[in-house]
Amino acid sequence: MPPPSPPPPSSPQPAPPHPPADGLLSAARRNVRDFAHALSHPSHPPTPLLAGAPKSWQRLLPYVVVLALAAVFIPVTVTVLAGQYHLDGGLAGALAVAQAAPLLMLAHRPLQAWWIIFPAHILGAVVLLGQDGGQGAAWPWTPPGLIGYLFLLLALGLRERRRTLAAVWLATGTAGLVLFLVSPEHGTDNSLLLLILGAVVLVIGATVRERGDAQRRLAEQETISEAERAQRTLLEERTRIARELHDVVAHHMSVITVQADSAPYRLEGLSDQAREEFGSIAASARESLAEMRRLLTVLRSEGTEGERAPQPGLDRLQQLVEATVRAGLPAELSLPAGLAGIPQTVDLSAYRIVQEALANVVRHAPGARTRVSISSDGAHLTVLVVNDPPERTGSSLAPRTPVETAGTGHGLVGMRERVRLTGGTLDTGPLPDGGFRVAARLPLPPAAPPAAAASVPLPPPEDS
């Protein structure tokens, strides 16, 4: 009988998993280093609390509070240590100063104050441990020391980050546990009470601080967003003005092209050199028109087309005011007859300023009586739009509700750009009676003197 075959070799067993002890130790060491760094490095510069408050009494309030805390807790702590715990007067005074005087630092350096107050309380608990008079009294935190420490924790919660607050709370709880284990029967232990109250105070302080930080960030973001909106509105208005200017300039360039092309047929006896000059003028005008059209494609948004209707001017103001009256706004127009020779740029700008001013009245002062006045002294065109306060509703004294309660000022941005385009001035602002005034002064080109007047010679002065 053949001998039994040897059993097949067993497959190698996988190695046991690496014990997690090393990972836990490294994580613990890392957390200890983080907590130590948080306790030794304040998260804010030594600026006083409420340093950015708008009023002086608000900026002085933290100093008044810390002075009051120090003035109250130093004598109270001396009295409690000497009377209730039967400490020597000198030792009681030294402990009271070490535990309460650093409260003066809460306004600007609360973490540094904690590094003084916390060891002073531990030292005081050790001193009280050897005193017979302390039996049955609160320990290891004296009543004034516990209340003062809560003020310290509140100041920390208002200034430091969460990791620092957690490190302070853990250090406080660890110290209380060690003192309890050293003398569990000494007096009435209040370490747990301080641990609970301290957590509540730290959470309140941190919540107030984080809420204030969030409000400041929100205000900064709103300021940035408003600035970006104003800049975007400014750019959009400039683009719109550029498109309208294209229509104005294109009209004149087209006229020049037509005149230059038709001059050889309208004028008799032109030389070949003059005909070539007119042809060169027409070619240059057509090239300029082509360049403007290429630039206009850059200014226009995608999907938009050029405006085919002629640009409005002062001759359209009557229609604009009538449309405003039909919308429920009592408006009057004063437009002198015979306003001729106004450049198209000024004409268009004046119309747009009146249009935007009336739109603002409709949005912000519905029902307000409005007066539109256009005048000219030959050198300037004055555009004036003045509205009264909003109309009262019925028999009540309350004004009508505006369409928009908060303006963005974007319409005024467009007005300023149009006035600056013509080299004029703009004055806007509320009136004492609650109305609003928009006044634009646009310069006009000087009128050319009559040719006949220039050719008439002046008579010589008579000899006296």
DSSP string, 170-201: HHHHHHHHHHHHH-TTSSEE-HHHHHHHHHHH
Compute the C-alpha angle 243/249/251, nearest 5°. Answer: 105
Query: Could you read off the pLDDT of 288-340 as tens digits, one per residue?
Result: 877 776 666 666 555 555 455 567 888 889 988 988 887 778 999 999 887 87
pLDDT at position 211 is 92
Give 463's pLDDT tier (boundaries 50, 70, 90): very low
Query: Could you read off the pLDDT of 398-414 as tens digits, one per residue?
Result: 445 454 444 445 577 77
SS3 312: coil
pLDDT at position 461 is 42
- Of the two residues 374 and 44, the one the predictor is more confident about is 374
Interval 197-214 mean pLDDT: 94
pLDDT at position 166 is 94
Give 137's pLDDT tier (boundaries 50, 70, 90): confident
Query: Could you read off the pLDDT of 145-178 as tens digits, one per residue?
Result: 999 999 999 999 999 999 999 999 999 999 999 9
Give 64's pLDDT tier (boundaries 50, 70, 90): very high
pLDDT at position 413 is 79
**403 burial via Cβ count (<10 Å: 0-12, 13-18, 19+):** exposed
* Residue 16 phi, psi dihedral angles, 5° rounding: -60, 145
Give yes or no for a contact between 383 and 426, defined as CB atoms under 8 angstroms apart: no
Interatomic CA distance for residues 383 and 252, integer angstroms: 25
**Residue 437 pLDDT > 60, yes or no?**
yes
Query: Which region holds residue 343: left if phi is over 0, alpha if psi is between -120 and 50, else beta?
Result: beta
Strands of 326-432, DSSP E: 331-334, 370-376, 380-387, 425-430
Selection from 100-104, 238-242, 346-350 with the highest mean pLDDT: 100-104
Percent of the chain with pLDDT over 70: 79
Give 236's pLDDT tier (boundaries 50, 70, 90): confident
pLDDT at position 408 is 47
Antiparallel, parallel or unpaired: β 425-430 and 188-189:
unpaired
